[in-house]
Structure 1
C-alpha cells in the first residue's frame, strides 16, 4: 500500500467491509451531543510545531516521507531538469542534503523511510525490483544498499513497515500460499534471516506482529516473534479491528448509521468510546505513542475543499483536540504528525511533534 493515498487515507482503518458505507456517512449531518474539541494552542501550547512551503527554493515540489522533528524532513523531490528523482534531507533552516538519486522514469522509487539515530533506512524500487538501502543523514555520499534479498515486501502505510531494533532491520513479505515471511538483516548488511507464519501478518512494534492485515474484520491476534507468546484479540460482527501492542481500535456502524470508534487494550479491557458520528481514522497506526488516536471528520467546509477536520483523541485525559479545521495529505511517522493546508496549487505543510507534548 502506498503512502501517497492522499485524502483516501481518511477511511484507512475502517476496512473493506465498511469503506463504502463510511464514504456515504461523510456527507451526513453531525449528531447532536458530539464533544467539542479543544484548540491545539489551548490544549498543548508548548508542543513543537513547524510549517514550510511545499516547494524547495528551486521551485521543485517536495514530498515528505518522514519527519525527524517538527522542522526536519526526509522526502522526495524531482530535479530541476526533471530527469531524476532525489531523496533528500530538508533541514529547518532550509538546507537541503541529497542522499540518493534515480532516473525520473522510476515513479515513487523511495518508500517506507525510517530512521535509527542518524541512520536512515528505506526501500528503493528501480526497474520493478526492490532493495533495502541506508545512509547517514548528515553525509551526502554515504548511501549504500543493505540487501536486494527482500522478498515480495508488504507495505501497510504504517510506521512499522520497516522496524529497526538491536541493530537489525525487520519487515514482512508475502510467502508461498497463505503465509507471511518475517525477514531481517543487520544494519551493516549481510545475509537475510527468514521465518514463516501462516496468515497475513504485519509488524506492530518490535517484537510483536498482528494478523488480519487483509481481512475484512481485521485483527484477531498479536504474536511475540521472540517468545512465540500470543494474545487473542476480541472481535465481533460488523466491526473492523486494528491493533498496536498497547491498544486496539474497533470501528463499527451504530444503530443510527454513523461510524463509531472505540479503543481497548488487546485483551478487551479498558474499553472506551472515542468518537461517534461522521468520523473516521486518519492514519493506519493505532493510538500512536500509546496515547494519541488520530481522527478525521468531514464538515461542510470539507465538501468545498476536499480536505477534512483533523482531530486527536488524547487517551491520558480523554480530551478531543482540534489540530486543523481544514487538513489534507495527513501522515504520521515516528512521533511526528504532518498535514497540508491550502489547495493543490498553493499549500503549506504543517507538522506537530507529538513527542513534545
Structure 2
C-alpha cells in the first residue's frame, strides 16, 4: 500500500454405515408400501425462545423515553451504557438540529447545535477512554457535503474539532466505521481517480496531519487491523501484514464478514432462507436460524458471541408493529427473545437498542450485552 499525505478531495453437502447393501435394499422393499402410504410428519413450530429477563436477569437494561424533557423527539445514536446516551433532537423551532448527551436522569447537555438547513448528520460514534468521538456532515449551499471529526469529554467541556481533512468518507452504519489504534483514529474514504481504490485515513486523536494509505479495491474497516471487502467475493486484508484471507462460501450467499465470523444466507428448497455463521477459513459452520429470520445488524457476531436477528412477530407483536428481536448466543447455542415488536434496531460498542411504539408514543429500550 502506498502511504502519502493526501489533500482532501473536492469531493463511497454418505454412504450408509457398515451394513450389507442387499440387506438395505430388501429392507427398503419390505417397507416401501408403508413409506408410500405414510405422509411425512409435518415439522412443528419452533419452540418459543426464553425471554431475556429469564436468561440474563443480571444484564443491564433500561427504558428510555422517546422525547427529551422539553418535548423534542429524541433519536439515540450511541449508548455509553444502558442509560446514558448521545443522540439527535430537532430544536423547538425546527430550525436547528442538536447533538446532545443525555444523562441517566434525563438531563441533557448540548454538544453541537447546527442549522437544520445544512442537513446535519451525525455518525460513526466511538468512545475512546472518557471521550466521545463522532463524524459530522453538513451540506453547503452549493450541494457539497463536508465531513468533520469531533471529540468531547464525557464529563463536560466544549467539544473540539479533530480534523476536516476526511476525504469522501465511506461509513456503512457499522460499529467499525471509525476505529482507534495506538492513539490514532482510522476511517475509510473513496479514493479519487478512475480506478476503484480505498483510502485508509488516520489522524491523532488530538488532531494534526492526516495520513492516507491507498489500497486498490473496495474495502471497509473491521476490527483493527482488518479491512473487509463488501462484495460477495469476500476477502479480509490485514493492513499491518498485508495478509489476505479469501472466504469460501460453498455456493451459499455470503453476507458480511469480520475477522472471526462470516454470515451466510442459504436458500432452502422446502423452507425459508436460513442464516448460518462460518469462520473466515471455512471451518465451524453454525446454523443459527432457518425460520426466515434476518440479521438485524451490519456487523457479524458482536463481541464475538452474539448474533442479533429479527423474525416475523406474533399476532400481538404484529398489532403493535415491528418484529421479534432475538439474540443468538454462540456460547450456549440458543436464541433469547429480547422484544416482541421491535423497530429501529441499532448496536454500538456492546449496547443493543431498539424502539417500540404504543398509543402513538415512541420509546427506546436497551440491553448492554457486555453485562450478560
- For this structure pair, what is the TM-score category when the shorter chain's length is used for normalisation? 0.7 to 0.9
2:17: which partner in 1? none
> After superposition, where does 1:260-275 map in structure 2 within 5 Å?
260-275=274-289
Which of 192, 198, 201 is the aligned partner of 1:180?
A: 198
Which of 179, 185, 194 is the aligned partner of 1:163?
A: 179
1:247: which partner in 2? 261
Deviation at 1:167? 1.0
Which of 134, 152, 161 is the aligned partner of 1:135?
A: 152
**Pair 119,344 (structure 1): closer, same or farther in 2 beyond 3 Å:** farther
What is the CA–CA distance in structure 2 between the aligned matches of 1:63 and 1:168, rounded to whole Å?
Answer: 29
Offset from partner CA, 1:71-105 (integer Å, 9 cap, x none): 00011111223221111110111121111111111
1:13: which partner in 2? none
Unaligned runs of 5+ in 1: 1-29
Offset from partner CA, 1:233-284 (integer Å, 9 cap, x none): 1123351231121111111221125111011211111111110122100111
**Pair 125,265 (structure 1): closer, same or farther in 2 beyond 3 Å:** same
Aligned-partner SS, 1:341: strand
| Higher mean displacement: 178-187 or 343-352 | 343-352
- Residue 189 in 1 paired to residue 207 in 2? yes
| Higher mean displacement: 317-326 or 76-85 | 76-85
Deviation at 1:355? 0.1
Q: TM-score, normalised by structure 2?
A: 0.83
- RMSD in angstroms over aligned alpha carbons? 1.8
1:350: which partner in 2? 365
**Which has the higher relative contact order, 1 or 2, with Cα contacts under 8 A spaced 6 or more apart?**
1
> After superposition, where does 1:291-306 map in structure 2 within 5 Å?
291-301=305-315, 303-306=318-321
Unaligned runs of 5+ in 2: 1-41
Indicate if the aligned counterparts of 1:31 and 1:277 stay in contact, CA closer than 8 A.
no
Offset from partner CA, 1:288-325 (integer Å, 9 cap, x none): 00000000001354554441000011000101100001
What is the CA–CA distance in structure 1 between the aligned matches of 2:89 and 2:148, rounded to whole Å?
Answer: 20
Aligned-partner SS, 1:76: strand
1:153: which partner in 2? 169
Which of 200, 205, 218 is the aligned partner of 1:200?
A: 218
What is the CA–CA distance in structure 2 between the aligned matches of 1:344 and 1:241, rounded to whole Å?
Answer: 37
Deviation at 1:135? 1.4
1:17: which partner in 2? none
> After superposition, where does 1:1-357 map in structure 2 within 5 Å?
32-126=44-138, 127=140, 128-141=145-158, 143-175=159-191, 176=193, 177-211=195-229, 213=230, 215=231, 217=232, 220-301=234-315, 303-343=318-358, 345-357=360-372
Offset from partner CA, 1:37-61 (integer Å, 9 cap, x none): 1110111010000111100010001
**Pair 76,31 (structure 1): closer, same or farther in 2 beyond 3 Å:** farther
What is the CA–CA distance in structure 2 between the aligned matches of 1:209 and 1:283, rounded to whole Å?
Answer: 18
Deviation at 1:35? 4.7
What is the CA–CA distance in structure 2 between the aligned matches of 1:321 and 1:207, rounded to whole Å?
Answer: 31
